[in-house]
Structure 1
Amino acid sequence: MDISIFENERIDDLQYKGLKLIQKKDGFCFGVDAVLLANFADIRRNDRVLDLGTGTGIIAVLIAAKTAAASVTGLEIQPEMWEMAQRSVKLNGLEGRLDMVCGDIKNALQLFGQSQFKAIVTNPPYMNKGGGLLNPLDTMAVSRHELLCTLEDVICVSSKLLVPGGRFAMVHRPERLADIIFLMRSFGVEPKYLRFVHPSPCKKPNMVLIRGMRGGKPQLKVLEPLYVYDESGGYSKEINEIYCRGEVAEA
């Protein structure tokens, strides 16, 4: 298949069954947080899945390729990122299983309709807009800062798009955890599982993975911490399993 790759782009090997992803050489690129979220999300057979703010499409591509979901949709507001993600879909031969939609998270209810998805995943911008001047046309700034959507927008919209009993999964920063739990409960998505991600056993967590259920009963389980690197400085056993494992186990 003839897929256009432009001068300022590269193709990254995802090291799983030949999967590849098109990314900008000097733009926003996916990190370990996206890979961990794709693994952490509770995706089950025949689920209809939505990735809010799909960016390069990494999470959507991994879920479409590694699970038995019925369909996966990625929603991205930035036309340049959306177009690049579309080419990654074709590059991996995932047409028919994975669809990329260009649109605003705040308009997602109009795009898809209420209660349409069994599972929603999201890796939203981590940083508040703050008082500095940021360019809303800068893909790096939009991916990192709450310029075009807020944490509240993401959780509010997710609660309306999920079917009752639908599952929500997100990766974020530990310092936003109080806001995350407050907003999830405010919009009827009960936090069910929480896992902190540490760079290494001797360092504080720099990421948090959280799963919730629309209309779920209160009971939050804090899972064992996940370490990216072990005490010797190499990747931990679990990280190697996540990157090199076969199919994602179904719950």
Structure 2
Amino acid sequence: MTDSLLKAGERIDQLFSSNIKIIQNKDVFSFSVDSVLLSRFPNIPAKKGLIVDLCSGNGAVGLFVAGQTKAQIIQVELQERLADMNQRSIQLNELDQQMSVIQDDLANLADHVGLSKVDLMLCNPPYFKVDEKSNLNESEHYLLARHEIATNLDAICQVAQQTLKTNGRLAMVHRPDRFFDILDTLRRYKLAPKRIQFVYPKPGKEANMLLVEAIRDGSLAGLKILPPLFVHQDNGDYTDEIREIYYGK
């Protein structure tokens, strides 16, 4: 079954702490630490509910979450090739009864799931605004994954406001240099930030990732800034926390 699901240039990768396998292609898309951390950041509903993964790419975030819950998971991906890889990874892991893929613009999510139906929304969005300084000399797949061309922070927060239940949660991974932009956009769409964690490549370095969780129509009080998360030690090895995420206890 494994060989029959792979296409030219593809491989199968697995997080050692998980039984989940992901179909990857370095020329199209490969998951990295941001996807892994996002899948471990929010409190995942254990037994029921609806989880939606926006900008799902080849499906890594939603697939890693699937091992933590029995809730239904919908993956939303605009690019046909990535949506196809995503669907085949679902088949590879025999998760067809729990997971599905919608190939569409995320702005149309309400047409597929309805209003106020989602318990948890995950998103690893394009990080970079497009301006005259943008390096757009990339493959189409990486271009859309990294730059705010097909979607942006505003569109993501708007669809979260439409489709999350009251007190439903949005969890994102993003860049620290967009911090104030993220907070302003969340509040504009009545998404109250509740948990924030900065991620650092190693001690002594500037943060290069930001994890944020917000609640639809929640109170603006009670924001928690979590302890910093370091990916590597000074010698380049993973920290104990990251090693446990990748390899298990």
TM value normalised by structure 1: 0.93
Contact 2:41-2:211 within 8 A present in 1 as well:
yes
Structure 1 position 121, deviation (Å): 0.5
Matched residue type, 2:74: T
SS at match of 2:172: strand
Distance 1:25 1:220, change over 3 A: same
Out of 55, 60, 63, the position equivalent to 2:62 is 60
Identity value in percent: 36
SS at match of 1:35: helix
Work out whether 1:225 is the aligned partner of 2:228. Answer: yes
Matched residue type, 2:209: M
Distance in 2, Cα, partners of 1:143 & 1:240: 26
Distance in 2, Cα, partners of 1:150 & 1:90: 30
Give 1:94's aligned residue: 95
Contact 2:17-2:244 within 8 A present in 1 as well:
no
What count of residue pairs does the alignment treat as equivalent?
Answer: 245
Contact 2:38-2:171 within 8 A present in 1 as well:
yes
Distance in 2, Cα, partners of 1:111 & 1:130: 32
Structure 1 position 170, deviation (Å): 0.3
State which drifts further: 25-34 or 237-246: 237-246
Distance in 1, Cα, partners of 2:224 & 2:178: 18
Structure 1 position 55, deviation (Å): 0.2
SS at match of 2:5: coil
Matched residue type, 1:41: P
SS at match of 2:237: coil
State which drifts further: 131-140 or 161-170: 131-140
SS at match of 1:42: coil
Give 1:48's aligned residue: 50
Give 1:103's aligned residue: 104
Contact 1:43-1:69 within 8 A present in 2 as well:
no
Out of 140, 143, 151, the position equivalent to 1:141 is 143
Give 1:77's aligned residue: 78
What do residues 139-178 of structure 1 show as CA deviations (whole Å, max 9, x unaligned)? 1100000110011001111111100010110000000010
Structure 1 position 245, deviation (Å): 3.2
Give 1:210's aligned residue: 212
Structure 1 position 18, deviation (Å): 3.1
Distance in 2, Cα, partners of 1:211 & 1:17: 23
Structure 1 position 135, deviation (Å): 7.9
Structure 1 gap ranges (5+): 247-251
What do residues 178-220 of structure 1 show as CA deviations (whole Å, max 9, x unaligned)? 0111111110110000000000011010000000111111221
Out of 216, 223, 242, the position equivalent to 2:245 is 242
Distance in 1, Cα, partners of 2:41 & 2:78: 24
Structure 1 position 25, deviation (Å): 3.1
Structure 1 position 27, deviation (Å): 2.2
Matched residue type, 2:36: V
Distance in 1, Cα, partners of 2:112 & 2:136: 28
Out of 162, 169, 180, the position equivalent to 1:178 is 180
Matched residue type, 1:232: N
Structure 2 gap ranges (5+): none
Task: Flag as ranges the 4+ runs of structure 1 deviating above 6 A.
Answer: none
Distance 1:17 1:221, change over 3 A: closer
State which drifts further: 201-210 or 4-13: 4-13
Contact 1:49-1:72 within 8 A present in 2 as well:
yes
Structure 1 position 137, deviation (Å): 7.7
Distance 1:31 1:136, change over 3 A: closer
Give 2:11's aligned residue: 10
Distance in 1, Cα, partners of 2:152 & 2:239: 33
